[in-house]
Amino acid sequence: MNCPDPIQITDQRTPRGPTPKKSVGSTIADLLQMSGVPVGSSDIAARVPVSFRKVHAGESLAHEGAPADAIFFVCAGTFKVFRTDKDGYEQVLAFAIRSEVLGFDALCMATYPVAISALEESAVYVVPKCDIPRLCEALPAFGLMLQHAGSLTLARSRELVDIMAAVASEVRLARFLIQHSRRMEDCGQSPRRFLLRMGRREISSLLGVAHETVSRSFTTLSTLGLVHVCAREVEILDMDGLGTFARSTRRQLDAPVPARARTPVHRLPAQGRHAHSLSLAA
Amino acid sequence: MNCPDPIQITDQRTPRGPTPKKSVGSTIADLLQMSGVPVGSSDIAARVPVSFRKVHAGESLAHEGAPADAIFFVCAGTFKVFRTDKDGYEQVLAFAIRSEVLGFDALCMATYPVAISALEESAVYVVPKCDIPRLCEALPAFGLMLQHAGSLTLARSRELVDIMAAVASEVRLARFLIQHSRRMEDCGQSPRRFLLRMGRREISSLLGVAHETVSRSFTTLSTLGLVHVCAREVEILDMDGLGTFARSTRRQLDAPVPARARTPVHRLPAQGRHAHSLSLAA
DNA sequence: CGCTGTCTTGAACTGTCTCAACCATGGTGG
DNA sequence: CCACCATGGTTGAGACAGTTCAAGACAGCG
């Protein structure tokens, strides 16, 4: 799995909406636009300021159990949402990229139930919790956008359950890659080639397997010719094949199986498609 | 595990708020009150009607992929939220009881991403999606309540990830029981004794293990004297012990372990507390 | 340079899945 | 009334996949 010739990830299209580079001048209108809500332009939204904050790689936005005074909207970069056990094990719950809301689950409690930290140089819009009622009243579009963002986060959280529901570790990884691919596409970046901002360990935590298993699963997917992996750079070679592979489910288990029609396959025989890609990397 | 003398589950305290028994006359005020939002009484909320719907055991509230035209608030009963794979495997994503919102994840899309069905005789408030913008504008408290409910659902979805993150199946079951206990308590029912409305198969799906494993895990927890189980009736005998057990994590894996201080324990020796309870049931 | 952290690979162990019985229950209908 | 079936739960036994432990490659960095 060593790659003498790293992939060049250059075809990143420009994300929709402007990405403010300055700490001042951001308004709710910017936030609404980023979130994809068709805000009736020339609104008062353009006159309500929102604080904008840069977050350095490794820096924390929220600590588990700390008083929750604000929610955030990712403007740029990547964040990791996680919980830490008493024994120090770090359970990753989600990765968040542009336009996602962070801290939505803290709206119903006084403290953050999760920790949030940046995986790279990032930036967020900050909305103090105490401002939310006023904002919702003054700008109905904001309230609806917040609902939409929270709804999306919930839907994605359930996709994570889909990942962890898979038995085979390679299937989990395949599902993760497909979801990640889709989200990259939603952000205007290439769905086929991207750079993972998180390490194997963090992926393994999200997937619910040991980090060594993630390594091996990457190797397997690569051997099957579905992806090309080089450290944290990923290229999906066969999107359809990866999708089919990701759809392998837990052996029907006890699903209402009509007759003796049980397939004795446990893990897909991988229907031997072009099984190179290792030849590329070795 | 056969129980000749079933537990009597009788100490169910009355849930807070009224439980309308009629299909007419429900208002947003009822809904707000159920959700625990301190609605400024004598509001217009008391004059805005909400439709109330009874759902029979086994009946579906929403089908996966069907047009999403409404969200629901559980008034009484228990619901199952799940997804069905192409191959018929049913992945349970959540169980919902009184005051929880259903369909929140459909706010950001046109169709329900999940199916919802009742596990027993139940009832819900129905809020058409198209009414939401108007309701939010006319009744800011409604919008805030919806945010709160969505936030809670997200937080609970993340608790499910905590469950599935546990390696040992008994730990998963213990975590499930503790969460269920807490939710029962929030509903004004006993946190120590309750009747599971779902079958072993549905629990196994939520936990991400085989249903036989759930059976064995129940037996284990029972043998440890932590719980008393009789079919679907559960009594938690040692809440602290169950909590400690549930906190057993995946072997620190690769957590920053300072020195050679690794504990060679994999699954808790269960610090042998009163290990009867099987004697009670046999 | 050694050090540290990330990633990979190998080999042994073990917990869960899988398959297969078995029991209890409840409904059905002869 | 009882045979019959379907459903849900429990238990046993073997096989396999993932964890665990161990070691090595590699890159970044003070």
Q: Nearest-CA neighbor of A108 among B35, B31, B188?
A: B35
CB A64 within 8 A of CB A114: yes
What confidence tens digit (pLDDT) does each residue in A65-88 have? 999 999 999 999 999 999 998 888
What type of residue is B181? Answer: S
- Return the bridge partners of B84, or none: B90
Q: Would you say residue B259 has pLDDT above 60?
A: no
C-alpha A209: how far from its chain's center?
Answer: 18
Q: Nearest-CA neighbor of B117 among B61, B198, B54, B200?
A: B61
Contacts of B38 (CB under 8 A, 6+ apart): none
Q: How far apart are CA A108 and CA A131, in angstroms?
A: 15
Token couple for A35: 């979130």
- Chain C positions with any atom < 7 A from a protein CB: 6-11, 15-20, 24
Q: Would you say residue A8 has pLDDT above 70?
A: no
| Residue whose pair of structure tokens reads 């199946």 in the numeric block | B169
User: Beta-carbon neighbour count of residue A279 at 10 Å?
Assistant: 8
In this prediction, residues B47-61 reach a mean pLDDT of 92
Distance of CA B143 to CAs A68, B136, B140, Å? 20, 5, 5
What confidence tens digit (pLDDT) does each residue in B238-254 have? 999 999 999 887 654 34
What type of residue is B106? Answer: A
B86 contacts A247? CB cut-off 8 A: yes
CB B86 within 8 A of CB A247: yes
B89: nearest CB among A148, A204, A252: A252
- A86-116: b or e for each residue (b if 16 or more CB lie within 10 Å)? eeebbbbbbbbbbbbbbbbbbbbeeebbbbb
Alpha helical stretches, state H, chain B: 28-34, 132-138, 140-165, 169-186, 200-207, 211-223, 239-246, 278-281
Looking at residue A61, its pLDDT comes to: 95
pLDDT bin (cut points 50, 70, 90) of residue B229 is: very high
Q: How far apart are CA A251 and CA A267, in angstroms?
A: 9
Q: Nearest-CA neighbor of A152 among A101, A108, A226?
A: A101
- Helix, strand or coil, per DSSP, at residue A174: helix
What confidence tens digit (pLDDT) does each residue in B166-206 have? 889 999 999 999 999 999 999 999 999 999 999 999 999 99
Whether the beta carbon of A167 falls within 7 A of nucleic chain C: the reply is yes
Whether the beta carbon of A233 falls within 7 A of nucleic chain D: the reply is no
pLDDT > 70 fraction of chain B, expressed in percent and rounded: 78
Contacts of A12 (CB under 8 A, 6+ apart): A188, A189, A190
Write the Ramachandran bin of B65: left for phi over 0, alpha for psi from -120 to 50, otherwise beta: left
- Chain D positions with any atom < 7 A from a protein CB: 8-13, 16-22, 25-26
Q: How far apart are CA B158 and CA A160, in angstroms?
A: 9
CA of A179 vs chain B CAs: smallest distance (Å): 15
pTM to 2 decimal places: 0.84
Q: A131-140, A271-280, B129-138 — which is least confidently predicted?
A: A271-280
